[in-house]
Amino acid sequence: MSENKESVVTRFAPSPTGLLHMGNYRTAVFSYLYARKNNGKFILRIEDTDRERSKKEYEENIIESLNWLGLNYDEMYRQSEHVDTHKKYLQKLIDDGHAYISKELAKDGSGIERELVRFKNKEEVITFTDAIRGDITTDTKDLGDFVIAKSITEPLFHLAVVVDDYEEGVTHVIRGEDHIPNTPRQILIARALGFPSPTYAHLPLVLSEDRTKLSKRKGALPVTAYRDMGYLPSAIINFMAFTGWNPGGVEEIFTLEELVKTFDISKVHKGGAIFNEEKLAWMNKEHIRKQTTEEQLSSVKKYMADYDELLLNRLLPTIIDRISAYGELVNIEGSEFRFFMKQPDIDIEKVVWKDDEPSKSKEYLESIKEILAIIDFSSPQVIKEAIMPYATEKGKGNVLWPLRYSLSGQEKSVDPFTICYVLGKVETISRIESVCNKIDS
């Protein structure tokens, strides 16, 4: 692609006829990266000329998604606002003999005659050099005199795209490979109007894991749905950029700025971009890990607002270890972590390890209590080192199970040392005492 850094202009041109999924936004990511890499401009163009199917709410969702992702655009247009310009160029094509009005019977068999505008195709062979795929040659004879407007006042998709790209100064059209068949038609129109053709780059389609077309049912949710599930925008961007491209090398976790630096459009794959949910979850976890403690805390607090601040600080590493997206806390919080906040109900029968004696379990708990009373709760490791010699002597399960269960009320949970550490000394000892009293009664 041209290295003229001043002049690069790319655009993301979605049709607001539904909620766009991740596969659609991947196009925005590549257009954005290419523009920023070349100090160019990135434009958002809402292609809303289909009045019936275009909806304001979808347009709003697109804007909301791009903002949340941080894919800032320099200019925004609505195609519907430029219909007069499209009409002007349509007239010019007719005046110059490149297009003509054709009266035809409607295909629905109604017998109604309608006026279409067709492009007068000179049936040349057209070759364009795709920045990803190299030369693509089409014999336009096969296209016939294709339709470019429903009537003299209703220009259609190809004409609108060509005119808008020209008027908006677009130099690089980066879009899905499903548009490859449209490109020769658009080149013909551009030539007839005397416009320079932009450089084209057709991205590989994003496929589901079973290699069929990506759909919402197959996991490709709108970007805002991932936001609502507590994914990080940086992870979503990283993931989308890596769907059909990677910079080579082993490093896979990149911020948006790092992606801009490393992006190379000629290395975009020609096919086989697979939407891999597991990889997305992994990437999100990695991005969470890279956040500062303050950032992590502020996200966690959205779900655990009623937790004690100090406790949450100590619990944070455990939480970060156990989640891939913050939204998981909606479920986890109610069960897995609840006992940290509130002493759980204890079923005395469950305190005892396997066929050990209740009186023994009580003895172990009391010994542990004494050990804990004199140490510093400075880390889970310190607590572990203090308890382990005793536990090893008496039997690990016999000692550690009653301790862990007494503190958590859960048959499965994080290790007892981490629980002690997070609860703090006072709360830990008080919970142990209350269980010992219960065993007595």
**What residues between 165 and 204 interact with ligand GLU by CB under 6 A?**
175, 179
The only residue of 15, 284, 406, 418 in contact with ligand GLU, by rule CB under 6 A: 15
Token couple for 415:
């290790």
Per-state percent for the chain, helix, strand, coil, to nearest 5: 55, 15, 35
Give the DSSP per-residue string, 294-328.
Answer: HHHHHHHHHH-TTS-HHHHHHHHHHHHHH-SSGGG
Q: Which is nearer to ligand GLU, 22 or 368 (CB)?
A: 22
Contacts of 397 (CB under 8 A, 6+ apart): 353, 354
We find the least distance from the C-beta atom of residue 169 to ligand GLU, in angstroms, to be 15
**What residues between 283 and 302 interact with ligand GLU by CB under 6 A?**
none
**CA angle centred on 117, ends 157 and 120, rounded to 5°:** 95
We find the least distance from the C-beta atom of residue 317 to ligand GLU, in angstroms, to be 44
Q: Which is nearer to ligand GLU, 28 or 304 (CB)?
A: 28
Interacting stretch for ligand GLU, rule CB under 6 A, among 12-20, 131-139, 369-377, 432-440? 12-20
We find the least distance from the C-beta atom of residue 29 to ligand GLU, in angstroms, to be 14
Q: Is the dihedral of CA 274, 280, 283, 287 positive or negative?
A: positive
Token couple for 436:
């010992």
Interacting stretch for ligand GLU, rule CB under 6 A, among 9-17, 53-61, 318-326, 349-357? 9-17
We find the least distance from the C-beta atom of residue 58 to ligand GLU, in angstroms, to be 11
Total residues interacting with ligand GLU, rule: CB under 6 A = 7
We find the least distance from the C-beta atom of residue 167 to ligand GLU, in angstroms, to be 14
Q: Can you tell me which residue has the tokens 């908006």?
A: 168
We find the least distance from the C-beta atom of residue 207 to ligand GLU, in angstroms, to be 17
We find the least distance from the C-beta atom of residue 176 to ligand GLU, in angstroms, to be 7
Look at residues 205, 236, 389 and name the one whose alpha carbon lies nearest to residue 324.
Answer: 236
Q: Which is nearer to ligand GLU, 161 or 399 (CB)?
A: 161
Q: Which residues pair with 172 in a beta bridge?
A: 10, 199
We find the least distance from the C-beta atom of residue 189 to ligand GLU, in angstroms, to be 12
Q: Which is nearer to ligand GLU, 13 or 400 (CB)?
A: 13
Look at residues 150, 155, 121 and name the one whose alpha carbon lies nearest to residue 138.
Answer: 121
The only residue of 131, 160, 161, 351 in contact with ligand GLU, by rule CB under 6 A: 161
**What residues between 76 and 135 interact with ligand GLU by CB under 6 A?**
none
d(CA 427, CA 95): 86
Q: Which is nearer to ligand GLU, 46 or 420 (CB)?
A: 46
d(CA 388, CA 367): 12
Q: Which is nearer to ligand GLU, 47 or 177 (CB)?
A: 47
Contacts of 189 (CB under 8 A, 6+ apart): 93, 119, 148, 158, 159, 162
**Phi-psi map region of 69: left, alpha, beta (phi>0 left; psi -120 to 50 alpha):** alpha
Is 13 an interacting residue with respect to ligand GLU (CB under 6 A)? Answer: yes
The only residue of 14, 155, 327, 402 in contact with ligand GLU, by rule CB under 6 A: 14
We find the least distance from the C-beta atom of residue 62 to ligand GLU, in angstroms, to be 10
User: Which chain residues interact with ligand GLU by CB under 6 A?
Assistant: 13-15, 47, 161, 175, 179
